[in-house]
Structure 1
Amino acid sequence: MGTYETLNDVLVNLFRDISGIEQKAVRELGYPDITMNDLHVIEAIGAGEPKSMSSVARALSVTVGTLTIAVNSLVKKGYVIRQRSSEDRRVVLISLSARGKDVFKHHDSFRQSMIDSIVKELTPEELEALTRALTKLNSWFRGF
């Protein structure tokens, strides 16, 4: 197998495997109604102060309309709270409910555990090379 085919296989399988592992972990934690898309929105909202719909949409590189569909679903499921800004009633703010914060916290712990497991298998040189390569790859994808 050539370099192109190997890289293609690695990227496709890595994306699929990480998504599958994350989805399984969320379901096992007792959140069977959370999709990967839901999880990305929950991560973008975060556990801090309420954020505007437009800032979350920018962070996810989606339109406000697309985010609205996802947020509507998460509000119905009880993971997100939507409110109007007290300073500007035109601005819609979203934040995580207690249930949403719980998902956020569990998923953050899961990711930390996954990274810890990967790191402990690598030498310092391998970790540095992997970090450099993934940073370059991430930069390329962000510019795509």
Structure 2
Amino acid sequence: MQRINQLLTIVYTDILRVEERELKKSDFKDISVKEMHAIDAITMYEHKTSSKLAKELMITPGSVTTMVGNLVRKGYVVRIYGEDDHRIVRLGLTRKGRLVYRAHDLFHRRMVAKFIESFNQSQVEIIEHALLNLRAFLEFPAHIDNTKE
């Protein structure tokens, strides 16, 4: 179990480091990995609200507001105001945002393909199940004791 913990930590750190390095080498060096993940969460296919984005990224609405403001200023994201109700604001990607979204998506598709290349379908399903267990653990932090002593 300790070895799996070490490997998960190493792989997580390595992925972030590679993403950061690739962003700095690219035409998109003006954004951080966190901003890249916000662009990824906004997606090209759905116009999400800031509150939905905050929930998906598991960060505060205030952090999303700041991040979105920066991404709008940098030309990656646009705010889309509702036609019927201008209080409803959805987020979309600009052409520049769609370009970086596609580049990031390609990186992840290649990474996953490499990760599972030597596994059969049954083994891939076991990995998927283990990752879903981990995700459920992280989404519902029952492992954290919030009681005050």
Q: Please confirm whether the aligned pair reaches a TM-score higher than 0.5, indicating the same fold.
A: yes
Which stretch has the larger CA shift, 120-129 or 82-91?
A: 120-129
Structure 2 partner of 1:31 = 28
Where do residues 2-21 of structure 1 align in structure 2 (5 Å cutoff)? 3=1, 5-21=2-18
Distance between the aligned counterparts of 2:118 and 2:25, measured in 1? 25
Give how far 1:59 is off. 1.7
Q: 57, 62, 83: which is aligned to 1:60?
A: 57
Q: 42, 47, 67: which is aligned to 1:50?
A: 47
TM value normalised by structure 2? 0.84
Q: 103, 116, 119: which is aligned to 1:119?
A: 116
**Structure 1 unaligned spans of 5+:** none
Structure 1 partner of 2:127 = 130
Residue identity in the other structure for 2:36: L
- Structure with more relative contact order (C-alpha pairs < 8 Å, separation 6 or more): 1
Structure 2 partner of 1:109 = 106
Distance between the aligned counterparts of 2:90 and 2:27, measured in 1? 27
Give how far 1:11 is off. 2.2
TM value normalised by structure 1? 0.87
Distance change (3 Å), C-alpha of 1:116 and 1:77: same
Distance between the aligned counterparts of 1:48 and 1:128, measured in 2? 27
Give how far 1:63 is off. 2.5
- The alignment's C-alpha RMSD in Å is 1.7
Q: 24, 38, 41: which is aligned to 1:41?
A: 38
Could you report, residue by residue, the CA deviation over 1:110-134 in whole angstroms, capped at 9, with x for unpaired residues? Answer: 1101111111133444433322222
Distance between the aligned counterparts of 1:96 and 1:28, measured in 2? 22
Task: Say how many residue pairs are matched.
Answer: 141
Percent identical? 29
